[in-house]
Amino acid sequence: MECKGSKQGAFFVLEVSGRMDALTSQGFETECLACMEAGNTRVVADLGGLEYISSAGLRSILAAAKKLKAAGGDLAFCGLSGIVAEVFTVSGFAKLLPVYATREEALARS
Amino acid sequence: MSTPAGTPMSTPANGNNASTIRLGHGIAFRLSALVLSAVGIIFVVMSTATYFMAREALLKTAEQNARTQAQGLVHRIEARLAPISRVPLGMGYELADGGLDDAGILHRQRQMLLDNPEIFGTAAAFEPFGRNAGQEYFAPYTFRAPLGITHTGLGGAAYRYHAMDWYQIPRELGEIVWSEPYFDEGGGNTLMATCSVPFFTGQGRARRVAGVVTADVSLDWLKRLVASASVLDTGYAWLITRNGTYVTHPAQGVAFNETIFSRAEEHGDLELRRIGQDMVRGGSKLVETTSLHTGKPGFLVYAPLPSTGWSLGVFSPRDELLADVNSLALVSAALGGGGFLLLAGLVAAIARSITRPLRRLRRAAREVADGHLDAALPEVKSSDEVHDLATAFADMQESLKEHIRELTAATASRERIQSELRIASEIQLGILPKTFPPLPGHTEFDLYASLTPAREVGGDFYDFFPCGPDCFCFLIGDVSGKGVPAAFYMAVSRTLIKAVAESVAGASRRRGADRHSPQHGEAQRRIPNPGHILARANNGLAEDNESCMFVTVFCAVLDFATGEVHYASAGHNPPVLLRARAAPEYLPTHGDPVAGAMTGVEFTTDTLTLNPGDALVLYTDGVTEAMNPAQELYGEARLAELLAKLDDRSVRGTCQALAEDVHAFASGAEQSDDITMLVLRYNGMTTGDMTTGDMTTGDSAAADNTTGGHTTGNTTGGSGRNKA
């Protein structure tokens, strides 16, 4: 799994690619915490390049989202496709967390 | 030096046999062999060079010696021959111009014999009618007779000496001529040669030969002289005349009987023939040849005897000439060999002294390899590489011990953890119900479930239990992550959900009783709402969930009196509905979130009615996300396909067929997630076994369904409610 971060307006965009499973998911949480410590609490995770996500990956996302929320920010998602989108739907994460079809939509929210 | 811990440990401890065998080709041996080979080669090269150089030098000297010896012999012979030939010459001078009268001639001849013991006889032969006009033959001859010196006269009709060689040849040549040697049987019984000297009369142009003076010379001394000339051990000298006749020769019967040419002819020896030709011509030379007499190779020196025109040959055998060289070579070889052996002993001793600590170290290493890690290492006092090796070896031994200590500790700790995990696994699997069929005595439905953990402990679970009159709750869950954390969370989730379900069931029953019993006098059944159960369980799980773990749950309640099923899903994979004589279909879900993520989440409850023969297949993502070695997923399509073509439609058979199919699909790929499945088949109501405790029969179920809004705390979409 790889994370590439960039500041875009009020948001910090993390481009996540590869596989987010038990071995790699901790990386995402760490990235988000690093963002938070740098003062970027509003994070958009672009999962367009993500091939696979396991329940451990979901746990990472959940943990990161909770911590960002506690810090007064939020964690939104965009670019979901394929099996990742399916996992988000089936697991109900699409209901728990803000999910947008495109990055533009995610960046356009207030 | 690093510590190649594996090397000594993996060396087969094959004891002393190998060690003694290998010693033969150890460093000591190789070092000795190398040094000695080098020294040996140098020694051989030097000896060979010395030998050949010395041989060359000695051969030159030997050649010189042979020449000198031959010349010496020639001189000794000449020293005696030359004066002899001067005796008749002097007589000739006296006779010239008729210097002596007849008596004077006899006196002079007698005196000559007395003065020269080698001279056997002497004659003064005159030209025909040269002395006296009327006398054709005048040749007074004085010789040694047995009774003393006697005079006689030569010549006559029977002996016409003027035609004889001894007279004719010197007369014609006008110079001294030696005859071929002959053996005089009549005279002295000795080897003789005649020296003939012409004498003259007149002066200038008138000078003419007046006669010939001869001296018969005994050559026994010459024979003895030549024969006694010692030439090394087997060398020899010989003499030939100007015709090539042998005068002396060491071989019996050669002298006087053979010439050098007849001998060369006889043996087919062309070289001897050439030598003979050169000798007869008066040549002097040294040639390398093989002796016909002894058969040995050697050097032949030949030189002429000037006074007679004869030729002397001296043969020196080569091996004797080279005897000195050979003995020199022998001595130097003996010295060199002795030195070599000494050096060999020395080198071997040094090499062994160098490798001795190495051998001790090797023994210690073998002991260590056999597992005696505390084997004492030899002390190496020197400060060379061996010492470094010993030090490094000691370090290695220490770190090996350390490593093994750590390994032992780690192994023990791992075994402890393994054992704890095994117990944990037993406990975890032990809390899952395993009584099939679940409600003995009830045939309205069959249920079977199985859980195959990917590791010792896992996060999947299933559960089933009665939860009210004719109500049966069954559920399946999957905790995020794996291993011990998931196992803990699974135990908490499963316990909490069961507790909540029973509590909800209790509440429902009480509420039902409160509401209905005063009016109808019978227990009004209220089926516990799965959405409600999940909502309460979710709140319980989400509180203080620092680890952010969560669980997906599919929870359903079957009213087995009617076949009605109420169900809710917390982010779980959609179960398969297997209607009798219809294709498998996935139950639609509402995308409700997983349990434990956040509090206050609401879950939709749906309802469906099972007809006798219909079944529900619940599973976790361990089934649909099972991977084969090509990283392909088992998938929902494959699951539906398998369920469609099942032969054995019993709950146990379905579970087993599914497990086998997933296993076959994985074809050896490692199982990455727990595989859990639960199958419930509804058989319908059968008469005679209706009672469950105080529950009423389900014939009022249809009526109940009208009240079954079940939307106690949850907002549910109307679409979720299927009415029978």
CATH number at residue A28: 3.30.750.24
And the tokens for B16?
Answer: 């002393």
Nearest to B591 among A56, A58, A95 (CB): A95
Residue B546 clears pLDDT 90, i.e. is over it: no
| Average confidence (pLDDT) over B43-47 | 87
Residue partners of B48: CB distance under 8 A and separation at least 6:
none
First to last CA, chain A: 29
Q: Cβ separation of A22 and B481 shorter than 8 Å?
A: yes
Q: Cβ separation of A89 and B601 shorter than 8 Å?
A: no
Residue B556 clears pLDDT 90, i.e. is over it: yes
| Average confidence (pLDDT) over B3-8 | 41
Mean pLDDT of chain B, nearest integer: 82
Residue B709 clears pLDDT 80, i.e. is over it: no
- Least confident interval from B13-27, B194-208, B527-541: B13-27
Neighbours of B124 (CB within 10 A): 28
| pLDDT for residue B5 | 42
Strands A42-53 and A74-78: parallel
Residue B497 clears pLDDT 80, i.e. is over it: yes
What pLDDT, in 10s, does the model give residues B452-475? Answer: 988 888 889 999 999 888 889 999
Q: How far apart are CA B506 and CA B536, in angstroms?
A: 14
A93 touches B: beta carbon within 8 Å: yes
CA distances from B204 to B89, B91, B128, B209 (A): 20, 21, 22, 12
Q: Cβ separation of A90 and B572 shorter than 8 Å?
A: yes
Q: How far apart are CA A91 and CA B571, in angstroms?
A: 3
Q: Cβ separation of B593 and A91 shorter than 8 Å?
A: yes
Q: Cβ separation of B597 and A96 shorter than 8 Å?
A: yes
Interface test with B, best of A20, A28, A74, A91 (most B CBs within 10 A): A91
Residue B350 clears pLDDT 90, i.e. is over it: no
Q: How far apart are CA B351 and CA B341, in angstroms?
A: 15
Q: Cβ separation of A62 and B572 shorter than 8 Å?
A: no
Interface test with A, best of B489, B548, B631, B673 (most A CBs within 10 A): B548
Q: Cβ separation of A92 and B598 shorter than 8 Å?
A: no
Strands B297-305 and B285-290: antiparallel
Q: In the sheet where B460-466 sits, what is the strand order?
A: B460-466, B471-479, B551-559, B564-570, B606-609
Q: Cβ separation of A59 and B482 shorter than 8 Å?
A: no
Confidence of residue B663 (pLDDT cuts 50, 70, 90): very high
- Residue B720 near residue B609 (C-beta atoms within 8 A): no
By CA distance, what is B459's nearest residue in A?
A: A55
Q: How far apart are CA B378 and CA B361, in angstroms?
A: 6
Q: Cβ separation of B548 and A63 shorter than 8 Å?
A: yes
Confidence of residue B511 (pLDDT cuts 50, 70, 90): low
Domains of chain B: 56-321 (3.30.450.20), 431-692 (3.60.40.10)
- Residue B573 near residue B455 (C-beta atoms within 8 A): no
Number of domains in chain A: 1
Using a 10 angstrom Cβ sphere, with 0-12 exposed, 13-18 middle and 19 or more buried, the burial of residue B147 is exposed
Using a 10 angstrom Cβ sphere, with 0-12 exposed, 13-18 middle and 19 or more buried, the burial of residue B354 is middle
Q: How far apart are CA B32 and CA B93, in angstroms?
A: 88
Q: Cβ separation of B594 and A58 shorter than 8 Å?
A: yes
Could you tell me which residue, B585 or B715, shows the higher pLDDT?
B585
Q: Which of B472, B467, B471, B542 is nearest to B504 (CA)?
A: B467
And the tokens for B263?
Answer: 């001998």
What residue numbers bound the domain in which A98 lies? 2-108
Residue partners of A99: CB distance under 8 A and separation at least 6:
A76, A77, A78, A80, A88, A93
Using a 10 angstrom Cβ sphere, with 0-12 exposed, 13-18 middle and 19 or more buried, the burial of residue B192 is buried
Half-sphere exposure in the Cβ direction for B705 (13 Å, CA): 20
Chain B closest CA to A19's CA: distance in Å?
Answer: 13
CA distances from B13 to A82, B23, B309, B377, B645 (A): 60, 16, 94, 18, 61
Q: Cβ separation of B571 and A94 shorter than 8 Å?
A: no
- Residue A13 near residue A44 (C-beta atoms within 8 A): yes
Q: How far apart are CA B62 and CA B42, in angstroms?
A: 29
Chain B closest CA to A63's CA: distance in Å?
Answer: 5
Question: How many A/B residue pairs have CB atoms within 8 Å?
Answer: 61
Q: How far apart are CA B40 and CA B62, in angstroms?
A: 31
- Least confident interval from B135-149, B181-195, B415-429: B181-195
By CA distance, what is B481's nearest residue in A?
A: A56
Nearest to B591 among A60, A62, A89 (CB): A89
And the tokens for B304?
Answer: 């002429």
Q: How far apart are CA B345 and CA B363, in angstroms?
A: 25
Confidence of residue B11 (pLDDT cuts 50, 70, 90): very low
Q: Cβ separation of A58 and B570 shorter than 8 Å?
A: no
| pLDDT for residue B243 | 86
What element of type H or E holds B518? helix B483-520
Nearest to A92 among B478, B480, B571 (CB): B571
- Residue B299 near residue B67 (C-beta atoms within 8 A): no
A109 touches B: beta carbon within 8 Å: no
- Least confident interval from B66-80, B236-250, B278-292, B502-516: B502-516
| pLDDT for residue B525 | 60
What pLDDT, in 10s, does the model give residues A28-84? Answer: 888 888 888 888 888 999 999 998 888 888 888 988 998 888 888 889 999 998 889
- pTM given for the model: 0.54
Q: Write out chain A residues lying below 8 Å of B601, CB-based.
A: 92, 95-96
Q: Cβ separation of B480 and A58 shorter than 8 Å?
A: yes
Would you call B10 helix, strand, or coil by DSSP? helix
Residue partners of A110: CB distance under 8 A and separation at least 6:
none
Confidence of residue B188 (pLDDT cuts 50, 70, 90): low
What pLDDT, in 10s, does the model give residues B567-584? Answer: 999 989 999 999 988 889
- Residue B555 near residue B567 (C-beta atoms within 8 A): yes
What element of type H or E holds B247? strand B246-248
Residues of B with CB under 8 A from a CB of A: 478-482, 547-550, 552, 570-574, 589, 591-594, 597-598, 601, 621
By CA distance, what is A60's nearest residue in B?
A: B548
- Residue B191 near residue B218 (C-beta atoms within 8 A): yes
Residue B163 clears pLDDT 70, i.e. is over it: yes
Cis peptide before B469 (omega within 30 of 0): no
What pLDDT, in 10s, does the model give residues B58-113? Answer: 778 878 888 888 888 889 888 888 888 888 888 888 888 777 888 889 999 999 99
Q: Cβ separation of A96 and B598 shorter than 8 Å?
A: yes
Chain B closest CA to A34's CA: distance in Å?
Answer: 18
Chain B closest CA to A64's CA: distance in Å?
Answer: 9
By CA distance, what is B589's nearest residue in A?
A: A90
Residue B382 clears pLDDT 80, i.e. is over it: no
| pLDDT for residue A110 | 66
Residue B177 clears pLDDT 50, i.e. is over it: yes
What would the DSSP string read from start to end of B80-110?
HHHHHHHHHHHHHHHHGGG-S-HHHHHHHHH
- Residue B108 near residue B100 (C-beta atoms within 8 A): yes
- Least confident interval from B122-126, B161-165, B492-496, B719-723: B719-723
| pLDDT for residue B187 | 56
Chain B closest CA to A70's CA: distance in Å?
Answer: 12
| Average confidence (pLDDT) over B20-29 | 60
Q: Cβ separation of A90 and B570 shorter than 8 Å?
A: no
**Chain A (22-41) residues lying within 8 Å, Cβ to Cβ, of chain B:** 22
What element of type H or E holds B271? helix B270-280
DSSP B310: E
Q: How far apart are CA B573 and CA B569, in angstroms?
A: 8
Chain B closest CA to A92's CA: distance in Å?
Answer: 3
Q: Write out chain B residues lying below 8 Å of A94, CB-based.
A: 591
